[in-house]
Amino acid sequence: MPAGMQGKTILLIVAGGIAAFKALELVRELRRAGARVLPVLSENGARFVTPLALSALAGETVRTSLWDLEDEALMGHIQLSRAADLIVVCPATADLMARAAAGRADDLAATLLLATDTPVLMVPAMNVRMWLHPATQRNIERLRGDGVTVLEPDDGEMACGEFGPGRLPDIPAIMAAIAAQFGPGPLAGLHALVTAGPTHEPIDPVRFIGNHSSGKQGFAIAGALAAAGARVTLVAGPVQLPTPAGVRRVDVMTAHQMQAACQAALPADIAVMVAAVADWRAETAPAKLKKDGSGPPALVLRENPDILAGIGHDARRPALVVGFAAETGDLLAHAAAKRVRKGADWIVANDVSEGVFGSDHTHVQLVTAAGAEDWGPCPKQAVATRLVARIASHFGAAP
């Protein structure tokens, strides 16, 4: 497993503030980054988000009370707080921080914080006056003195209409702070360029040539690289997928735009070219083509630049270049030839005659100078994790 959040257990305490609903998005991002999330909802937190929503997104039982006998029998609160690699309090309210600073144990959240020596990260969100109040600032100083990491809230307009510090930081900033708790990761200091998705080549102002690439595999790889500590530039064709945590995304439409964005992203240490780039573009008509009775228009196609081959033979070639090959027959022979022709170190080859496009599952073989390895059928997320572990060991980092 690469370091970062993959495989980590995070105990997430959701306290009662208007920002509690944003904790739901945080749960999704944490799970997407490979973490297990054990949710705890305070009594007041349950006024803002339902236990059901939190447990459905976390895929775990929500703990809400000290006095839940069944949970206590299964896993006492002390064990619960110690099973985690990190405790995150989001949102951290003025009240919970005051109780934690005072060493109170008057509800499940406060008890967990007192009963553990697991690192704690608090993400405050509250009204600006409450944040600026000397009592709150005193409590934060005490918490920091006790070794708790307390993030600074964002400045801006508050739900109550006031303006100033107190807003919950945005989710990518919280994710970065959480990732930092787990150390730099095996790919820290390296820049990775990833392409993903299809390209659209316009025929006229309303039509285009495209393909069925969903972008899922490339986005999963970009997320896994970021989780392993790399700085990631993701050049994405037209897809409606959320940007993985910690990834810089550049949206493009055509192969030419994708090539320009890739060149602009260099230098990079790693390039993983997953995009299904259209091989041909059409000569674009300036106005919408009309049915005028003279028969269908002829499409004049021109060859697109090969972005992978360009990077593979560039003077600024990244130290490791990985391409993908989607084939419908003679998989290994095509992939091996492609590896050499395009100047790639590795080719991840998959047979797309089996309905891989748009699916969450795939079946790939890794083709290197040493030969081919069959990775068997598995989720695209697992291919991402395994590829990134392989990249980490290539760079000499412990996977």
Kindly state the smallest distance separating residue 386's Cβ from ligand C5P, in Å: 17
Q: What is the spatial distance between Cα 134 and Cα 360, in angstroms, rounded to a whole number?
A: 51
Binding of residue 304 to ligand C5P (CB under 6 A):
yes
Q: Taking CB under 6 A as the rule, does residue 336 contact ligand C5P?
A: no
Stretch that binds ligand C5P, among 37-45, 58-66, 238-246, 270-278 (CB under 6 A): 270-278
For residues 53 and 57, give the distance between their C-alpha atoms in angstroms, rounded to a whole number. 6
- How far apart (Å, rounded) are the C-alpha atoms in residues 193 and 33? 18
The half-sphere exposure of 263 on its side-chain side, counting CA atoms within 13 A, is 14
Select 112 or 325, whichever has its Cβ closest to ligand C5P. 325
CB of 297 to ligand C5P, least distance (A): 24
Q: Which of 48, 208, 219, 324 binds ligand C5P (CB under 6 A)?
A: 324
Q: Which stretch binds ligand C5P (CB under 6 A): 263-271, 286-294, 321-329, 380-388?
A: 321-329
The neighbouring-strand residues paired with 88 are 12, 121
Distance in angstroms between the alpha carbons of the first and the last residue of the chain: 6
Determine if 128 is a binding residue for ligand C5P (CB under 6 A).
no
| Amino acid in position 159 | A
How many residues at the interface with ligand C5P, by CB under 6 A?
15
d(CA 301, CA 112): 64
Query: Using omega within 30 degrees of 0 as the cis cutoff, is the peptide bond preceding 91 cis?
Result: yes
Q: Can you tell me the distance from the alpha carbon of 189 to that of 106, in angstroms, rounded to the nearest whole number?
A: 44
The verdict on whether 160 is a catalytic residue reads yes
- Min dist CB 244 to ligand C5P, Å, is 18
What is the C-alpha separation between 124 and 276, in angstroms, rounded?
42
Residues in region 273-292 near ligand C5P by CB under 6 A: 273-275, 277, 279
Q: Which of 323, 367, 387, 391 binds ligand C5P (CB under 6 A)?
A: 323
Catalytic residue among 90, 160, 262, 378: 160
Max Cα separation, the chain? Answer: 83
Shortest separation between residue 192's beta carbon and ligand C5P, angstroms: 14
> Applying CB under 6 A, does 195 fall inside the site for ligand C5P?
yes
**3-class DSSP assignment, residue 166:** strand
One-letter identity of residue 147: G
Nearer to ligand C5P, 116 or 199 (CB): 199
Chain positions contacting ligand C5P, by CB under 6 A = 195, 255, 273-275, 277, 279, 304, 306-308, 323-325, 338
Query: Which amino acids are annotated catalytic?
Result: 160
